[in-house]
Structure 1
């Protein structure tokens, strides 16, 4: 995990700051990427490394940092299942993306397995083209050491939320050292990162938290652009560690539409004046290709 920290977020921060000539960045992490970002924020705020001002503020999208009640995934993660997976990964060095996808689909068999079996196989209907499902099906392999560390230290031992229990890149990390403002998004129907467990972030960081709860699930709740008429709704307000999730939700006004404008307003208060976007890349870090890149064009 040290490599993921130093060659992932930390390197990205370094490159972004160099290209736009800024001392600080706004950081965003999604799901397991958010767990890594939270770990990075705790690492940056360790008093001995002097890098606490690297990130001005940060955003977590459907992310767990306390895995005490991890939802439906918890029903398939145990010492035996992790050991079985580790034995499999040791033979090839990774967990195959197809295996990961099958695990996620098994958590929602009615909608993600039997729905297609009945309509496509039995009724002979052509499945509709759904951009989110197409994107979601582009599964990623999980490297052996990273996946083992993640499952054991987060899901089985739940050590990320404990002060100085985990050490990354030479420093013990404690989420309570984080003081930068946070915007945290959760989703009502999320079966991968249950929103009431996501809400636990309010009890673990010491910076101000703006918490948003959107309808829909782990993907559609986040990839949720404004549409007319609105498809979804959300609640947003300051996080409060003294309230349980239901109490917090009851105090917020339900708003039609997407949480995106609320996030943009929150970010706007923490940004400078609007300027024309800088040229992509720099002499030190040249752009690899024009948007949308090359990967999406591969078949």
Structure 2
């Protein structure tokens, strides 16, 4: 049974480390949520560690550089684990070959191809048209607002060639303010439904949690599993991932599921229960917005 809480402080003493989603929890793609920032600052002031665990395809440094644009201050978190870093490590070890067809917005995603010093003898990656490629690297659709059918021709050719698709962001959708956009996970889902093979590295899949633990340990912490709380607004990513890792979760209902859970300031208990039943994924706790 999911317990609805009024603030993070009600349960924070039970946890030494937070794995916190970014988009939909700490900011909305335009600006930070002030109450979320205050809650994370208070948690850190009490000795807790905050790891931002994000499905962004950006490297950790790119995420950190972007956060001030959303007015997210550096004193509300300790470190960052991104889906981009997990996926980049796989790319540079040859998971989808050396000649890759890139899907995304290059001006935004070119940092994905920056070399990783932690990889020994990295594969030399070059971009190629889909007809010449050995694999696909997907950081997102070319146009996140376009009809998904516009992806089909390239994906069909890739599937016929037997290419693997490396998905740098398993999110299906994201809300930028009040505007909903498609993410790389939607492309990978279509490719899988067409019979292609998609490789995932962000939430809810294990690689990003392994990275989050390594980043946590790099901060000098060795937190028992029962003392980690995952926070996020994606029931199929943040909450499903936490369940897979056997760690507790706090579901932010005012994000992607605000309509389904009838969230204004807090979720409607009956609507939340119906949503949880329909998704068959049960968070430990729920709250309208992180505060």
* TM-score bracket for the superposition, by shorter chain length: 0.3 to 0.5
TM-score of the superposition, structure 1-length normalised? 0.32
TM-score of the superposition, structure 2-length normalised? 0.33
- Greater RCO, 1 or 2 (C-alpha within 8 Å, sep 6+): 2
Rg larger in structure:
1
In terms of fraction of residues, the more strand-rich structure is 2
